Amino acid sequence: MPADHGRARTQVLPLALDADAGARADARAALLARTGAAVRAAGLVPSPDPVGSTRELDAVLDTPAARESAPGTRALLLRQSLVARVLLAAEPGSPPVPPAPLDDQLDELLALATEHGLSLFAADAQMLRARRALLVDDEDAALTAVATGLAHLEEPVLVDHAPTAAEHRHNVRCARRLAAGTLVTLGLHDLAGTLVDQAWGSTPTEIDGASPCGYDRVRLGISWGLRLERAGRPGGDRLATAAAVAATLRPATPDQQPLLVAAAVLADPARGPAPTDAERERARRDAAVLGRGDPVPSQHDRLLVELARSRALERAGEDDAAVAVLAARRAHPPRGEASLMLSVTRELARLRTRVAVHGRRAAEAALGDYVADLEAELWALHRARALSLRTGLAHDRLRREHGQVTALALADPLTGLPNRRALDRHLEEVLGRRSAAELDRVDGRRSAAELDRVDGRRSAAELDRVDGRRSDATPVGVAVAMVDVDRFKQINDTASHARGDEVLRGVATALRSSLRAPDLVARYGGDEFVVVLPDTAVGDAAAALGRARAAVAALPGAGAVSGPVTLSVGVVAARDGEGPAEVLARADAAMYAAKRAGGDAVRTHDASATRARP
């Protein structure tokens, strides 16, 4: 069937005033405020209202305002909802398979990012895909997604369609923090440190001492130090640095306080009961603070706090209580934290061995040797995994660079539209498909005629009717339009060449915004553009180009002398067996006919020009 070019389309015209912009901005702010409140509630561990938070997030996404919002806004809402859902799905005792809405929303975010070129949200989607894989212990899939996400974050321009530069910077920072947190969960702390530096810069804290920057560095340092410690490598420096940063911070939110206390506890290298009453009393106070059950920002943070509480109880001389803390967590582990849970298991084994052996040093030493050998093997696997990630990232980077070079070779640098080379390729492809379809139709008619000559049951008129029905089932054809900016030389001469370039960019945007996604708009050269409309009759194509001509006429004028910007358009239908050069020559002739008639018109090869109304 012919394409429906008769429906109205939303046009995005540069420099146009939008009377509803304020109302849309208010509606957008209200949506983000609602999701932000729900995410804050869902993001606390434990969450005060996980069911209510999830329902609120779903309700926001289902509102007409959210469904009809711009792609960048919709992607941001999906990102916030997915962050909350991943946190809730990691809660101990949650279903082994994440809920279907998580996968549905992740698929929608990936599709939006791909369709609209939202590279920043594409990075977020890949990191969230990695988190989803970790929930089901699929580390290979998580590493693949992380490599792709990191490649997105390395792109020179991160696109999110944010309405302000401040919001864009915030979104970039959030994306890097999400990526860093994902890498910490995987135990890839060195790469995570790079992303934390990119997100916040090299300054450890901000002046007021309440920056999330410092908190991110504390979490990274503690997790990294414990990982090194577990592998029998020096981790004390990392833990000491984390404690030093924590000592300078004032919690930005109450949920940050437990980890800042934990940093000081874990930086103490001593094990076993403290030697003095004062030290044991201080350890009891730390354990009491860490045992209040205050909410923290993530499952990872909760594990770090519980490890610190166990150490504090051990220093207080309460070994049984220390064992009970870790044994309870070992019985009910969070999802997606397999690497840090190894530290919990190791610490629990150390405590139980120390409590049980009561001087049986030989048994303790043998167990220690076994643990050391096991950890050496795990460390080797960890390094191999890190190497695999770097290799995958390098491969993905090279692939993207190759794609970018190829895209630049086929793009017009001024307008961003496909250039002459890309147009020639596209025309050869669509005209080739039309020729193949026509050959199939003719072959089908011949086969039917041969059969009918054998049995003599159908007349030539009946064959024509059958052929007509088959034609209705095949594509209508390909329409091609040549578009020329009227009096463009005058615009350059009376305004400036810079203004001429601005006009060309405006015309390109208006043409692209006025047509369907399958229609190709290319810059042919100079002030000429070509539009290829597949599966479109000439009349429908002329109507669509008429709307595009009107959209260009609505652009701000090129100057007092040259007046408004107008177009002359020639539209033709590609003929059977016709090549790109022939169809473009006929479109060019139709365009010059419109120009000779005074311009600001659309002319088809067999009709009079459609002029603009006075």
Per-residue pLDDT at 24 exceeds 60? yes
Contact 220, 193 (CB under 8 A): yes
- In SS3 terms, 451-469 reads as HHHHHCCCCHHHHHHHHHH
Of residues 457 and 482, more confidently modeled = 482
Average pLDDT over residues 249-273: 91
How would you classify the pairing of strands 601-604 and 567-573? parallel
Per-residue pLDDT at 459 exceeds 50? no
pTM of the model: 0.62
The pLDDT value recorded for residue 457 is 39
Distances, alpha carbon 104 to alpha carbons 72, 82, 100, 234, in Å:
18, 10, 6, 44
- In the structure, what pLDDT confidence band is assigned to residue 439 with cuts at 50, 70 and 90? very low
Measure the CA–CA gap between 357 and 350, rounded to whole angstroms: 11
Q: If you average pLDDT over each of 356-365, 435-444, 583-592, which comes out highest? A: 583-592
**Residue 96: how many CA atoms within 13 Å on its side-chain side?**
2
Q: What is the per-residue pLDDT across 381-437, written as a single tens digit (0 to 9) for each?
A: 666 666 667 776 666 666 666 555 555 567 788 888 888 888 888 888 888 776 555
**CATH 3.30.70.270 boundaries in the chain:** 477-611
Region of poorest pLDDT, from 10-24, 113-127, 230-244? 10-24
- In the structure, what pLDDT confidence band is assigned to residue 218 with cuts at 50, 70 and 90? very high
**DSSP secondary structure string, 18-69?**
-TTHHHHHHHHHHHHHHHHHHHHHHTSBS-S-HHHHHHHHHHHHHSHHHHTS
The pLDDT value recorded for residue 395 is 67
Q: What is the per-residue pLDDT across 96-128, written as a single tens digit (0 to 9) for each?
A: 777 788 999 999 999 999 888 899 999 999 999
Q: What integer best gives the mean pLDDT of the chain?
A: 80
- In the structure, what pLDDT confidence band is assigned to residue 259 with cuts at 50, 70 and 90? very high
Region of poorest pLDDT, from 453-457, 514-518, 556-560? 453-457
Region of poorest pLDDT, from 71-75, 201-205, 551-555? 201-205
Of residues 33 and 469, more confidently modeled = 33
Per-residue pLDDT at 202 exceeds 90? no
The pLDDT value recorded for residue 494 is 80
The pLDDT value recorded for residue 16 is 38
Per-residue pLDDT at 498 exceeds 60? yes
Tell me the residue ranges of DSSP E strands in 80-126.
Answer: none
Measure the CA–CA gap between 81 and 158, rounded to whole angstroms: 21
CA angle, 488 then 592 then 504, to 5°: 30
SS3 of residue 571 by DSSP? strand
Residues whose CB falls within 8 Å of the CB of residue 351, separated by 6 or more in sequence, listed in order: 310, 314, 319, 322, 323, 326
Per-residue pLDDT at 560 exceeds 60? no
- In the structure, what pLDDT confidence band is assigned to residue 206 with cuts at 50, 70 and 90? very low
Distances, alpha carbon 228 to alpha carbons 237, 372, 385, 502, in Å:
10, 12, 16, 57
The pLDDT value recorded for residue 140 is 82
Single out the residue of 270, 341, 332 nearest to residue 303, CA to CA.
341
The pLDDT value recorded for residue 510 is 86
The pLDDT value recorded for residue 109 is 96
The pLDDT value recorded for residue 401 is 60
Q: Over pLDDT 70: what percentage of the chain? A: 76
Single out the residue of 147, 115, 142 nearest to residue 128, CA to CA.
142
Contact 590, 613 (CB under 8 A): no
Measure the CA–CA gap between 465 and 471, rounded to whole angstroms: 10
Measure the CA–CA gap between 571 and 477, rounded to whole angstroms: 13
Average pLDDT over residues 12-25: 52
The pLDDT value recorded for residue 476 is 64
Per-residue pLDDT at 546 exceeds 80? yes
- In the structure, what pLDDT confidence band is assigned to residue 9 with cuts at 50, 70 and 90? very low
Region of poorest pLDDT, from 173-177, 337-341, 485-489, 555-559? 555-559
The pLDDT value recorded for residue 380 is 59
Name residue, tokens 């706090």: 305
The pLDDT value recorded for residue 163 is 87
> What CATH number matches the domain at 477-611, 3.40.50.300, 3.30.70.270, 3.10.270.10, 2.120.10.30?
3.30.70.270
Q: If you average pLDDT over each of 25-39, 310-324, 356-370, which comes out highest? A: 310-324
The pLDDT value recorded for residue 364 is 58
Average pLDDT over residues 123-141: 91
The pLDDT value recorded for residue 372 is 60
Residues whose CB falls within 8 Å of the CB of residue 244, separated by 6 or more in sequence, listed in order: none
